[in-house]
Amino acid sequence: MSEDGQHGITLIAFVGSVFSPYYAWARRRGRGDPDDHCALNVAIYSKGQGRWAMTERGRKHCARSASQFTVGPSQLDWDGQCLTIDINEVGVPLPRRIRGRIKLWPQQLFGYSTPLDEAGRHRWGPLAPSARIEVDLSAPDLKWQGHAYLDSNEGDEPVERGFHTWDWSRARMRDGSTVVFYDMQAPGQADRTLSLRFTPQGTVETIETPPVQTLSKTGWRIARRMRSKQPVQLHEQLEDTPFYQRALLKFDHAGEPLLAFHETLSVPRLVSPVVQAMLPWRMPRRA
């Protein structure tokens, strides 16, 4: 988010794109090579200049090492202090160019990783819960600075084998700490919840898990919820799709009014045949 709160951007670099219908079809044929299903998802949230791109690319268009990841004409590079992301993508459904450079400087690097499922086949952890970001785009013409968050997810199996639904949120506190709630649900099973605070000093603290606050359903009728002792207010709906939603929420935590990025994933919706048939319209592929 920009310092003035007027601009936002989300980027996700995929190896073995978890939402890819092409990867799912390849796995069913016994040819599920994750390096043949890479993508850089770019979502820009700026009034009048919003863009969204997620073109999947095959192995011959991609390369990765410990410090660099190339996905077609786009590239991510880590020099030990700064993550530089050079973007050259075409948006969908309107074919508008997204081009420019983003730089992210972690405030504190974390080596924290934790299993999300009982078998430990799915893991998550923030690399930089608090960071400084600089956005310099020529298409659209956007230049701003602000605060950012960087994390990592990895899995040894398809997401539908480990999860049913989850709600995830993160918020930046006044002292620079980042609060994260990871709330996972499955029919007939007890909720699995992570309630964590990542401090500027590099420590990870388990915090009290607040009660559930039920939110209004999305336009696509996705049920969602948030962990908070007080009622939660929808500030802005950023994404609303048949299986996934992203929003900004206002809530209170530890006596502070906070603004949280909040996401909900419905795995049954994701793997439904109807949604899988729709996804290529939003996720084109270059083999």
Q: Round the average pLDDT of the chain to a whole number and report it.
A: 96
Residue 218 has pLDDT above 80, yes or no: yes
Residue 1 lies in a domain: no
In the chain, how many domains are there?
1
Q: What is the pLDDT of residues 51-71, one digit of tens each?
A: 999 999 999 999 999 999 999
- The answer as to whether 274 is a domain residue is yes
> Is residue 109's pLDDT more than 80?
yes
CA-CA distance, 133 to 208, in Å (whole number)? 30
Residue 74 lies in a domain: yes
**Is residue 82 in a domain?**
yes
Residue 68 domain flag: yes
Exposed e or buried b per residue across 247-273, where buried means at least 16 C-beta atoms within 10 angstroms of its C-beta: bbbbbebeeeebebbbbbbbbebbeee
What is the band of 144 on the pLDDT scale with cuts at 50, 70, 90? very high
Token pair of 174 as six digits: 């006044």
Please check whether residue 74 is in contact with residue 54, taking contact to mean a CB–CB distance below 8 angstroms. no
Structural domain containing residue 56? 7-286
> Does the reported pTM lie above 0.85?
yes
- Rounded distance, CA 127 to CA 104, Å? 12
88 located within any domain: yes
Rounded Cα–Cα distance for residues 13 and 54 (Å): 10
Within-domain flag for 92? yes
Which residue has tokens 């992570």? 194
Cα 257 to Cα 87, 206, 254, distances in angstroms: 34, 20, 9
| Longest CA pairwise span in the chain (Å) | 53
> In this structure, what token pair is assigned to residue 279?
């996804």
Q: Give me the pLDDT at residue 185, please.
A: 87
How far is it, in rounded angstroms, from Cα 269 to Cα 274?
9
Q: Is the pLDDT of residue 98 over 80?
A: yes
- Helix, strand, coil percentages, rounded to 5, for the chain: 10, 55, 35
- The SS3 of residue 203 is coil
**pLDDT exceeds cutoff 90 at 177:** yes
Collapsed DSSP state (helix, strand, coil) of residue 160: helix
2 within some domain? no
* pLDDT given for residue 191 in this prediction: 87
Which letter does DSSP use for residue 175 in this model? Answer: T
Q: What is the mean pLDDT of residues 191-201?
A: 95
